[in-house]
Amino acid sequence: MKTNDLILQTVTKVCAFVIILFSISIFLGGHYSPGGGFVGGLMTSCAIVLLLLAYDLKTVAALLPIDYKIMIACGLLISASTVAGSWLFHAPLMTHAYSYFNLPILGKTSLHTAVLFDLGVYLVVIGVTMTIIQTIGESE
Amino acid sequence: MSLLHLAILSPFLLAIAVPILYKHIRSVHTGWFVLGLPVILFTYFFRFLSATQNGETVAESFAWIPSLNVSFDVYVDGLGLLFALLITGIGSLVVLYSIFYLQKEKERLGSFYTFLLLFMGAMLGVVLSDNLIVLYTFWEFTSLSSFLLIGYWHHRERSRYGAQKSMLITVLGGLAMLGGFVLLYIMGGTFSIRELIGQADSLFEHPLFTPALLLVLLGAFTKSAQFPFHIWLPDAMEAPTPVSAYLHSATMVKAGIYLVARMSPIFAESGVWLWLIASFGIATLFWGSFSAVKQTDLKGILAFSTVSQLGLIMSLLGVGAAALHYESIGENVYMVATVAAVFHLINHATFKGTLFMVVGIIDHETGTRDIRKLGGLMAFMPITFTIAVIGAFSMAGLPPFNGFLSKEMFFTGMVNVLNMDIFNLDAWGILFPVLAWIGSIFTFVYSMIVVFKVFGGKHQPDKLERTPHEAPLGMLISPVILASLVIIFGIFPNLLSGTLIEPAVASIIPSLLDGEFHVHIGFWHGFTPELFMTIGVIAIGILLYLTVPRWKKVYYALPEAWSLNRLYDKTIELAERASIWVTRLFMTGFIRSYLVYIFLFFIISLGFTLYWQDAFKLDTDNTAPIRMYELILAIIIAIGSVAILFVKSRLTSIILLGAVGYTVSLFYVLFRAPDLALTQLIIETISVALFLLCFYHLPKINLKEERMTFKLNNALISLGVGVIIALIALSAHSNKLFDSIASFYLENSYKEAGGKNVVNVILVDFRGLDTMFEITVLGIAAIGIYSLIKLRMTRGREADENK
């Protein structure tokens, strides 16, 4: 049932990457402006779904050779170790550390361990969404 | 955390490393890596002997869950140390033996040693914990590792059956025991065994005392395979022989005995305790030894023999409790029962360990354990024969082996019952020595069967899979060590009396030991009733052994349908059938039926609560004015939702649903919640994409169910859900029981968590644990969907399970 998707495909080529970049931006900025790992992850999956709609499962799998199930595991591991990491410093679970640093190019930036936790959330959300969509899409 | 804690946890730590070692170093048998640990632990625990000998105890504490009164307190006293030495000592020998028993080319050694180490750590935890909850945790861990080890050859149907049976019975008992522990906590206000012992007098008066006692005993009886719960032990023999020797003879099945001994200071005042333990023990002794003679599988004989010996120790502990009711401590004759229990516990571990290893050798070298096929092996395996004779004669209670000494003391303990005048023992006490004596006769008979049917008689080479020959040296080391212990303990029993037995007895009946107390075990007591009982056992035993074929008919007097095993099987079958029936009742396989259940429950429970609590309230004070935009959006949503009902094509309804969702997100924009709006928008996008993907798989719309009642039902349910939600939303707005928490977050999110976006700070910091578990649930759901869809085409693989 594939028809000529030229317009969709051309637009997707540009859009998908803009969406992914934007999603990473709102993921990183989540602590200060709207966004965060959950929304960021969903938005990245949206971009991938867009790619799926414009092309097909095989092309996208070749483009992004990722096993999303492993991605879920990695995300969970990152989040869980951030949660447990505070034990090493004799602090209660989920205690975050943050401070301001002067980084080259970026200037004064706030770095926060919550971002690590959020990175886990980000990865899990992408992994879950894409695992579900891929599995259902593949089973014809 | 002390060294003692580390000693208990070290097997768990090594268990993590074992699979890695197994995977990467295949040229060396994994057992060699494991062997060091039990040996080191044995030496470590050996050093405690000098302390417990002087009546001292060692206690270490580690706060685990202080808010729930659960702390990982470990405590080494005579009893705990005795078990710890058994666990690590027999453990070392069993690991050494298993290195030669399990071939590294064929077996999954990684799993085997992981399970074995799990068990070792759990068992050490059971016997050294002071906290009941910690004890229970380790207790269930032993059941779990036993389950895994019985099912080690999981391709065999019998292994799986045996594993499930042992799991069901022991875990059921374990749960009962947990109930008993909780009752003890309610009575005493502490989970610490030592503190509970301190309050033993006040506990005795409490109305919950007897229920707690019964529940704890249920745990002990199931674990220690007491009649009628013994049926799991013979089926557990499907495990590899080293496991049978270790778990199902020397250590794990003695956890129940440990529990009874440990709890004695709390419960032993009670007559129920004495009667239950003594009578169940003696019944088990009789039934186990009687059934053992019937068996044709060598491991079956040993299994029933273990059952009966456990009953013997149990009954001794029960009778030993009587000592509490008699004052004269110095010469208290009833103490002998408790001493005998501890002594026999050690002896049983040595001779039964020996015999199991001998059976393993026979199985390994001939390929069968069936006594009808075996015979005449004396000439082929002389060393094994010698070991077997030592083990079996000790089990039968013949001098000069250690079994003789403890058997004599057992008789003394049972004969003493005749002199007791408490709890109606004067009326029924005569049964104890009689049953003990009959049980011992059967013990003698099956001990002889083990030796002479296998090693004596005629060799039948045509029935054997391979030509028998002596076992390799490595396999003989462990049984030879154990057999020498049988002899050493037999000739020098007082090696044990001061070092192990006295401290252990002191832990079982501490109240009696203020004064001097010494155990001396001697061979010759003069012409006592016990001696004549032993002579009788030997004489009648020999007679019965020679005439076994003539009286074996009695075993078939009871029809098979009446046996306990049939009862168990029927119960399981019935439970399975009932659960299938109940499940089929409501599991139709259609998601729409499930949604109906969920929504109906939702309407009924929430509606009822709303009505019952009189919670509905409408309060328009604190509401914002309705603006034009909101009205427009609401109308769009209403039109969209109603339109979905009348649409004929599914594609259109998906798009309409999406439109409704996007409109909802506009609401968030109006109410200045950018995070929510963003999330809602993306969620809508993704769910529309998902719907489109599922499009193929969905049944055709509106084809099957055109009936009016179906539509009416759905209309009623949806109307109900809508009304309930609206009522709850309105009431929630009107009832303000607490101040909003929002101000707390607004104030603290920057101060405490360094973030300006409150929503995100809540997600990753304030309520980060919620997020952690939510993403875990998401992950599980994704894996679940993956396996549901990917694995459904692999049906019909059930036949492979038994390959």
pLDDT bin (cut points 50, 70, 90) of residue A75 is very high
Model pLDDT, residue B330: 46
Both B572 and B434 in a single domain? Answer: no
Both B457 and B568 in a single domain? Answer: no
Q: Which of B227, B360, B239, B353 is nearest to B289 (CA)?
A: B227
Least confident of B40-44, B287-291, B455-459: B455-459
Both B439 and B505 in a single domain? Answer: yes
Cβ distance B677 to B665 under 8 Å?
yes
pLDDT at A71 over 90: yes
For chain A, how many structural domains are there in total? Answer: 1
Share of chain B above pLDDT 70, in %: 93
CB neighbour list of residue B593: distance below 8 Å, 6 or more residues apart: B586
Residue B291 dihedral angles phi and psi, to the nearest 5°: -70, -25
Question: Cβ–Cβ of B764/A98 closer than 8 Å?
Answer: no
Q: What is the DSSP string of B54-106?
A: TT--EEE--EEEGGGTEE--EEE-HHHHHHHHHHHHHHHHHHHHHHHHS-TTT
The owner of tokens 């068996």 is B295
Question: Cβ–Cβ of B678/A83 closer than 8 Å?
Answer: no
Cβ distance B569 to B165 under 8 Å?
no
Chain A residues inside the 8 Å CB shell of B761: 31, 114
The owner of tokens 């990473």 is A24
Q: Quick one: CA torsion of B422, B424, B428, B431, rounded to 10 degrees?
A: -30
Model pLDDT, residue B513: 58
Tell me the shortest Cα–Cα distance from A42 to chain B, in angstroms.
Answer: 7
Q: Which residue has the higher pLDDT, B639 or B371?
A: B639
Choosing among B665, B684, B693, which should be mutated to test the A contact, i.e. which has the most A CBs within 10 A? B693
Q: What is the pLDDT of residues B90-102, one digit of tens each?
A: 999 999 999 988 8
Give the range of the structural domain holding residue A29, as residue numbers without chain letter: 5-138
Give the range of the structural domain holding residue B772, as residue numbers without chain letter: 740-792
Q: Would you call A103 helix, strand, or coil by DSSP?
A: strand
The residue among B556, B575, B608 that closes a domain is B556
Model pLDDT, residue B799: 47
Instruction: Measure Cα distances from B273 to B268, B294, B428, B712 in Å.
Output: 6, 32, 16, 63
Both B458 and B391 in a single domain? Answer: yes
Centre a 10 Å sphere on the Cβ of residue B494 and count the other Cβ atoms it contains: 14
Q: Is B406 a member of any domain?
A: yes
pLDDT at B702 over 60: no
Chain B residues inside the 8 Å CB shell of A52: 689
Model pLDDT, residue B803: 45
- ipTM of the complex in this document: 0.90
Q: Which of A82-91, B128-137, B503-512 ranks highest by mean pLDDT?
A: B128-137
Residues 743-782 of B with CB under 8 A from A: 753-757, 759-761, 763-765, 768-769, 771-772, 775-776, 778-779, 781-782
Both B550 and B575 in a single domain? Answer: no
Q: Say how far apart CA B277 and CA B273 lie, in whole Å.
A: 6
Peptide bond into B479 cis (omega under 30): no
What is the chain B residue with the closest CA to A121? Answer: B775
Q: Say how far apart CA B772 and CA B470 lie, in whole Å.
A: 59
pLDDT at A18 over 50: yes
Question: Cβ–Cβ of A124/B775 closer than 8 Å?
Answer: yes
Q: Which of B760, B769, B782 sits opposite A31 (nearest CB)?
A: B760
Both B368 and B517 in a single domain? Answer: yes
Q: Say how far apart CA B486 and CA B357 lie, in whole Å.
A: 14
**Backbone dihedral region of B397: left (phi > 0), alpha (psi from -120 to 50 degrees) or beta?**
left
For chain B, how many structural domains are there in total? Answer: 3
The residue among B543, B569, B587 that closes a domain is B587
Question: Cβ–Cβ of A114/B764 closer than 8 Å?
Answer: yes
Q: Is B538 a member of any domain?
A: yes
Choosing among A87, A121, A134, which should be mutated to test the B contact, i.e. which has the most B CBs within 10 A? A121
pLDDT bin (cut points 50, 70, 90) of residue A1 is very low
Q: What is the pLDDT of residues B280-328, one digit of tens each?
A: 999 999 999 988 888 888 889 999 999 999 999 999 988 888 777 765 5
Average pLDDT over residues B337-347: 89
Predicted TM-score (pTM) of this structure: 0.76
- The conformation of residue B370, written as its DSSP 8-state character, comes to B
Q: Is B543 a member of any domain?
A: yes
Both B498 and B576 in a single domain? Answer: no
Q: Which residue has the higher pLDDT, B569 or B548?
A: B569
Return the structure tokens found at A47.
Answer: 């971009």
Both B466 and B524 in a single domain? Answer: yes
Both B543 and B519 in a single domain? Answer: yes
Cβ distance B346 to B86 under 8 Å?
yes
Q: Is B604 a member of any domain?
A: no
Tell me the shortest Cα–Cα distance from A105 to chain B, in angstroms.
Answer: 22
Q: Say how far apart CA B505 and CA B409 lie, in whole Å.
A: 15
Choosing among A52, A57, A94, A98, which should be mutated to test the B contact, i.e. which has the most B CBs within 10 A? A94
pLDDT bin (cut points 50, 70, 90) of residue B83 is very high
Cβ distance B540 to B416 under 8 Å?
no
Q: What is the pLDDT of residues B552-567, one digit of tens each?
A: 777 777 776 677 888 8
The chain-wide mean pLDDT, for chain B, equals 85
Model pLDDT, residue B31: 86
Cβ distance B288 to B308 under 8 Å?
yes
Q: What is the pLDDT of residues B525-550, one digit of tens each?
A: 777 777 888 888 888 888 888 887 77
Least confident of B50-64, B213-227, B502-516, B735-749: B502-516
pLDDT bin (cut points 50, 70, 90) of residue B432 is confident
Average pLDDT over residues A99-122: 81
* Pairing of the two strands B74-76 and B58-60: antiparallel
Model pLDDT, residue B511: 66
Return the structure tokens found at A62.
Answer: 């070749």
Q: What is the DSSP string of B376-412?
A: -GGGT-HHHHHHHHHHHHHHHT-TTSHHHHHHHHHHH
Model pLDDT, residue B741: 82
pLDDT at B440 over 60: yes
Q: Which of A32, A42, A72 sits opposite B683 (nearest CB)?
A: A42
Model pLDDT, residue B86: 92
pLDDT bin (cut points 50, 70, 90) of residue B794 is low
Each as own residue / partner, the long-range contacts of residues B138-142 (CB below 8 Å, 24 or more positions apart, any chain) are: B139/B174, B139/B177, B139/B219, B139/B223, B139/B255, B140/B171, B140/B174, B142/B247, B142/B252, B142/B255
pLDDT at B487 over 70: yes
Return the structure tokens found at B683.
Answer: 């969620």
Question: Cβ–Cβ of A53/B694 closer than 8 Å?
Answer: no
Chain A residues inside the 8 Å CB shell of B748: none
B672 reaches A (C-beta below 8 A): no
Beta bridge partners, B695, equal none
Model pLDDT, residue B512: 60
Model pLDDT, residue B425: 67
Q: Which of B674, B679, B771 sits opposite A42 (nearest CB)?
A: B679
Q: What is the pLDDT of residues A39-69, one digit of tens each?
A: 999 999 999 988 888 887 888 888 888 899 9
Cβ distance B505 to B342 under 8 Å?
yes
Question: Cβ–Cβ of B764/A26 closer than 8 Å?
Answer: no
Residues 405-424 of B with CB under 8 A from A: none
Both B489 and B578 in a single domain? Answer: no
H helix intervals, B417-472: 425-428, 431-448, 454-455
Q: Say how far apart CA B450 and CA B432 lie, in whole Å.
A: 27
Both B383 and B483 in a single domain? Answer: yes
pLDDT at B404 over 80: yes
Chain A residues inside the 8 Å CB shell of B755: 31-32, 112, 114
pLDDT at B599 over 80: yes
Q: Say how far apart CA A87 and CA A85 lie, in whole Å.
A: 5
Both B461 and B437 in a single domain? Answer: yes
Question: Cβ–Cβ of B764/A127 closer than 8 Å?
Answer: no
Question: Cβ–Cβ of A133/B693 closer than 8 Å?
Answer: yes
